[in-house]
Chain A
Amino acid sequence: GEDVEQSLFLSVREGDSSVINCTYTDSSSTYLYWYKQEPGAGLQLLTYIFSNMDMKQDQRLTVLLNKKDKHLSLRIADTQTGDSAIYFCAESKAAGNKLTFGGGTRVLVKP
């Protein structure tokens, strides 16, 4: 079956780069997403990448995809205290279709 895994926790100093890692098992995953969840709130779509891409950059966010290893990462440059949140990796077979989520990575940014 489908499985998406992430590390549980990441602590980073303000101004440093954060890297959140995700692995998935389903080779037919076509779309891979990163969502951010702040306390008591819903999920905010940060970025997504198609499986035929290796890298996507959007301002401070860089997504790297290693399709051979089924490994996805999210790099946040110049991490700010407002970046403290839970980050979820997710995959789907097509845009807008059912998502399979990882367990979430709690990122804590220290001043």
Chain B
Amino acid sequence: GAVVSQHPSRVICKSGTSVKIECRSLDFQATTMFWYRQFPKQSLMLMATSNEGSKATYEQGVEKDKFLINHASLTLSTLTVTSAHPEDSSFYICSASNPGGNQPQHFGDGTRLSIL
């Protein structure tokens, strides 16, 4: 099946640090990538949808200046959590799809972000 690689898998850093998370589709061209946040024992919450070469579409309540998304190529999207604070600690998961090719979303393994 399709493979989506997400790095890093775990980050622990001090408050105020900016953290970049990468999401790569390894064996198909991902015209669309999604970024989700998951709190403990809860479902996934969609943060934003990014389309290759255009600005991301953020869900209501998600600060676009806080969570910077870049989707510069068909295989790579990045999420940067800027000036992270303890309340940003969470499990972040990306997914990739190619809607034009009828490809369902395939997910990365997630990044656990802990801000001290």
CA distance A104 to B44 in the complex (A): 9
Residues 14-68 of B contacting A (Cβ, < 8 Å) = 32, 34, 42-44, 46, 49
Q: From A6, which residue of chain B is reached at the shortest CB distance? A: B43
List the A side residues contacting B43 at CB < 8 Å. Answer: 88, 101-104
Residues of B within 8 A of A94 (CB): 99
> B residues 57-98 with Cβ under 8 Å of A?
93, 95, 97-98
Would B107 and A44 count as touching, CB distance under 8 A? yes
Q: Give the distance to chain B from A7, nearest Cβ to Cβ, in Å.
A: 13
Nearest CB of A to B12, in Å: 15
Interface flags for A31-62 (1: CB within 8 Å of B; 0: not) read 10101000011111100100000000000000
A10 in the interface, Cβ–Cβ < 8 Å?
no
Q: In the bound complex, how far is the Cα of B32 from the Cα of A28, in angstroms?
A: 21
A-chain residues with CB within 8 Å of residue B97 when the two chains form the complex: 95-97
A-B contacts at CB below 8 angstroms, number = 62
Q: Please, which residue of chain A has its CB at the minimum distance from the CB of B101? A: A96
We find that the number of chain B residues with CB closer than 8 angstroms to chain A is: 27
Contact assessment for A99 and B105 in the assembled complex, using a CB-CB cutoff below 8 Å: yes
Asked if B46 contacts A96 (CB within 8 A), the reply is no
Q: How far is the CA of A40 from the CA of B100 in the complex (A)?
A: 31
When distances are taken between beta carbons in the complex, the residues of chain A under 8 Å from B109 are 41-42
Cβ contact within 8 Å between B105 and A45: yes
Number of chain A residues whose Cβ lies closer than 8 Å to a Cβ of chain B:
22
| B92, chain A: closest CB distance, angstroms | 10
Do B99 and A35 touch across chains, with their CB atoms under 8 A apart?
no
Q: Give the 3 A-B CB pairs with smallest separation, nearest first.
A: A96-B97, A96-B99, A43-B107
Partner of A99, one of B46, B98, B100: B46
Residue of A whose beta carbon sits closest to that of B57: A98
Q: Out of A44, A88, A98, which one reaches B49, CB within 8 Å?
A: A98
Nearest A residue to B111, CB-CB? A42
CB contact between B104 and one of A41, A96, A98, A103 (< 8 Å): that residue? A96
Which A residues, 1 to 44, have Cβ-Cβ distances below 8 Å to chain B? 31, 33, 35, 40-44
